[in-house]
Structure 1
């Protein structure tokens, strides 16, 4: 294949990669704080709130992300009476699906980070005169985020790869343009190009998280 052909297929694929990158940033920026709120809800002393949060996490982690995307994109508009008000733009629907799904996974990551902190930390903070808010914000949360960072990094890399599911709900993204080129030109080269683009994105993301881990590593 000539370099001219490579440039021809690369241009639309890079345009599709913009949708991939945009979805990633939207999902990561919104799902992480939502996941933390879910963690707090699970640990809430108000039992109904804790049960609802646990049920939500169980459902979102126990069903395929693709199914959730299909329900939000195509299923919600079919609900009687209110369905007509639930018709969303495909990209918006997909973003919502990713946010709700990954929030559940981040919630479990943060919960694991909290559980790994020794109970003595709370007792020591109390002895030093810290109130509950100071203990949480100055001692517990910084340690929790440090502990959870590697798992957050792994989940974020998975998120980059999962953006390929946009193809299933008819959102033009990287894989969509690769598949179009394959069908049109009867060559597998576009798939390899798409794979390289995904590898570059995950490499950059992994490098960023490695720097963060190095920055916040325990002395």
Structure 2
């Protein structure tokens, strides 16, 4: 039975005089805390775990996956060279694409009708045509222009001239196609991030006399990055996988290298698995980088930063660690 405290209560209007009615206080120390039950959550967990176990069992017991062939080619020299070319294309096209996209975004936000129109037209053209068509067009640019020259426009003065077929190699066509296509999408991502910043903050900063460049770097950019980063990393991850399309140029990136090998060995599925696993590794590394960069820019927007994976592991271990029982006698409350 819960204890009832019948101590008299002082009347707030008449100090020192006990009230006629005793105050009833319930002692809840004898009650046990019962956690909420979630039966359907456990049912769903069992079903999902069963499906996952069945898939893993099929992967590792079906001999037609030929995991020994996958292990043989996974770190082969030709595969690693193709992987290096994929990473090189991703780094160059991603960097140049976002730099050009940033310039196009500023042009689109400019009050100049010419800048805004050029930026909109660029994004419209390159987002309206397939990447495959763009790559083939750049690779066959020599059919349209025999020579590419640099000089004073509308005059015969020329400073530099080169054959188009010499300048536009397989690598150059791949970089041009991927960069310009990436810039068209990056411009819209960056423009949307900049527009997401409340204009009232800029007006307040201008009223305080803060220089325009400082308003852009210290107020607009950190807040815009919170909106830009998730979509920007999705674009980079898409670019990693999009590099596989340059196989049409016979450029020796990862997917083209895998194709050459399985056309010779007829081991199609194992070598496709090699490419798949490498793409998963690259995108996993990018996803980890995305998590930490987004966590950095979430400061100021969240009261408490999300835990890192290592912090989650430590918290789980400390929560579920066995506790040492205390053998000291319990102190009496009496």
TM-score by length of 2: 0.62
Deviation at 1:191, TM superposition (A): 0.5
Specify the structure having the higher radius of gyration (Cα): 2
Unaligned runs of 5+ in 1: none
In terms of fraction of residues, the more helix-rich structure is 1
Deviation at 1:6, TM superposition (A): 3.8
- Alignment partner, residue 292 of structure 2: 211
- Alignment partner, residue 86 of structure 1: 164
**Which of 201, 208, 214 is matched with 2:282 structurally?**
201
**Which of 102, 108, 111 is matched with 1:36 structurally?**
102
C-alpha contact 2:197 2:220 (8 A) present in aligned 1: yes
Deviation at 1:8, TM superposition (A): 4.5
- Alignment partner, residue 257 of structure 2: 177
Aligned-residue Cα RMSD (Å) equals: 1.8
- Alignment partner, residue 73 of structure 1: 139
Q: 1:129 to 1:202 in 2, by over 3 A?
A: same
Deviation at 1:81, TM superposition (A): 4.6
**Which of 178, 184, 197 is matched with 1:117 structurally?**
197
Deviation at 1:169, TM superposition (A): 1.0
Deviation at 1:170, TM superposition (A): 0.9
2:138 matched to 1:138? no
Q: 1:5 to 1:146 in 2, by over 3 A?
A: closer
C-alpha contact 1:9 1:181 (8 A) present in aligned 2: no
Structure with more relative contact order (C-alpha pairs < 8 Å, separation 6 or more):
1
Unaligned runs of 5+ in 2: 1-65, 149-161, 303-334
TM-score by length of 1: 0.92
In terms of fraction of residues, the more strand-rich structure is 2
2:251 matched to 1:168? no
Distance 1:5 1:28 in 2: 29
**Which of 175, 186, 196 is matched with 1:95 structurally?**
175
2:113 matched to 1:47? yes
Deviation at 1:43, TM superposition (A): 1.2
C-alpha contact 2:73 2:271 (8 A) present in aligned 1: no
C-alpha contact 2:110 2:116 (8 A) present in aligned 1: yes
- Residue correspondences, number: 218
